[in-house]
Amino acid sequence: MYKVYILDRCQYCNGQAYLPVGEAVDWKGEKFTRYLPCHMCQSTGKRGRWVSLPDFLEMLKAEQCKHEHTSFQGGMHFGAGDVWDEIHEVCNDCGANLDRQTVGDLIDDPDDTPIPY
């Protein structure tokens, strides 16, 4: 089975490149969250992974979709005084996560011709 190496969002830091490590107090006495760089992706927010050719083909097909019908999935999270969300815009037609960088973002195609299968 053939595989292709791609860059994807780091699953450890969820693509944010920094991880909360604790709380500290500033000179005014206000609490703030301290962050350290992610050691899994070296603070890039991206991590390489191997995908099979059929999965890569699905990514390419999703890239050609016009994404006309979309919905939002995910929710809000509260913890350690921080608020964040994992709400993602998803295409209903091809299932692509529109908030995630795709293969087409990495390919520079000046005339935007369709990819032959």
Identify the domain containing residue 26 by its residue range: 3-106
Residue 28 lies in a domain: yes
Q: What is the pLDDT of residues 50-108, one digit of tens each?
A: 999 888 888 887 777 777 788 888 787 777 777 777 788 888 877 777 776 555 554 55
Residue 38 lies in a domain: yes
Tell whether the torsion through CA atoms of 98, 99, 105 and 106 is positive or negative: negative
What b/e readout covers 55-68, taking b as 16+ CB neighbours within 10 angstroms?
Answer: ebeebbebbeeeee
Instruction: Count how many domains the chain has.
Output: 1
Residue 115 lies in a domain: no
Answer yes or no: is pLDDT of 6 > 80: yes
Residue 66 lies in a domain: yes
Answer yes or no: is pLDDT of 115 > 80: no
Cβ-contact 98, 63 below 8 angstroms: no
Residue 117 lies in a domain: no
The predicted structure's pLDDT at residue 104:
56
The predicted structure's pLDDT at residue 86:
78
Q: Which residue has the higher pLDDT, 46 or 76?
A: 46
Answer yes or no: is pLDDT of 10 > 80: yes
Residue 15 lies in a domain: yes
CA 67/CA 12 separation, integer angstroms: 28
